[in-house]
Amino acid sequence: MTLVVAPAAPTLKEGAAALGVALTDPQTEQLLAYGRLILKWNKVYNLTALRDPESVLTHHLLDSLAVVAPLQRELASRQRIEAKLLDVGSGAGLPGAVIAILCPTVDVTCVDAVAKKVAFVQQVAAELKLPNLRGLHIRIEALTGAYDVISSRAFASLADFVEVSAQVLADQGIWLAMKGRAPDDELSLLPPIAKMFHVEHLTVPGLDAERCIVWMRKAAG
C-alpha cells in the first residue's frame, strides 16, 4: 500500500522526534487519520472543544505522544513488553488511542461514561485496524480485572483518580496521570493507598503550556 503523506506529516514527525519517538510512515498516517476522525466526529458529536487541524495536532496528538517514551521506559524497567493499560475518562481516546498506535504490544482499554465517546473509540479501532484498542462504556467503579498501567488525562484530581481505579490496578501496577503544572496541592491529598514515585516534566512541541506526568504506585502494605 502506498501512503499519501499529508502536509502535516513532517510537523508531526518532527514533534514526535523531539519527544523521543521515531514515527514510521504507517504510524504517522494512522495518527493523522485519527486526527481527521476527531475533526469529522466533532461536527456532530462534540467530542472535544478543538475544531481546527493545527490544534488537534498539537493539543491532542503531540500532547498524547509525550507520554509514549516515558511509558515505554517504565515498562522496560519492569522488563515488560506486553501490558494491559486502562485509560480512564478517555473521552475521544486521549491518550489511549495514541498509545495503542505507537505500542502494539500494549492492550489498551479506553473507558468512559459517555456512550458516544466510547463508540468513537470503537470506530477508531475498526478504521485504523488496531486490534489492541477497545472502548468500554462503563463507570470505572463498576469495572473488574487487573491492569498494569492506569492512565488519565485531565480526568479528575489525583485523589479521585486513584480512589475510583485502585480496585483494578495490578499489585505491581502503576498510575500514569497527565497534568499541567506539577499538582503539589493534589499530591498532598493523595489517599494512603497510593504513593507518588516521580513527577516527570514534559515539553510538548508547539504547546505553550506546562505539562507533567505524575507516576504513582500502590503504597507498601
Predicted confidence pLDDT, tens digits, the chain (221 residues): 333 345 578 899 999 999 999 999 999 999 999 999 999 998 888 788 777 888 899 999 999 999 999 999 999 998 888 999 999 999 999 999 999 999 999 999 999 999 999 999 999 999 999 999 999 999 898 999 999 999 999 788 999 999 999 999 999 999 999 999 999 999 999 999 999 999 999 999 999 999 999 999 999 86
Query: Which 8-state DSSP code applies to residue 61?
Result: I
Q: Assign residue 162 the CATH number of its domain.
A: 3.40.50.150
**How many structural domains are present in the chain?**
1
Range of the domain at 192: 69-218
Tell me which residue has cell 488525562: 153
> Considering the domain boundaries, does residue 58 fall inside one?
no
> Considering the domain boundaries, does residue 149 fall inside one?
yes
Instruction: Give the ranges where 46-183 is alpha helix by DSSP (H).
Output: 53-55, 63-65, 68-77, 96-102, 115-127, 158-165
**Buried-state track 170-198, b at ≥16 Cβ within 10 A, e below 16:** eeebbbbbbbeeebeebbeebeeebebee
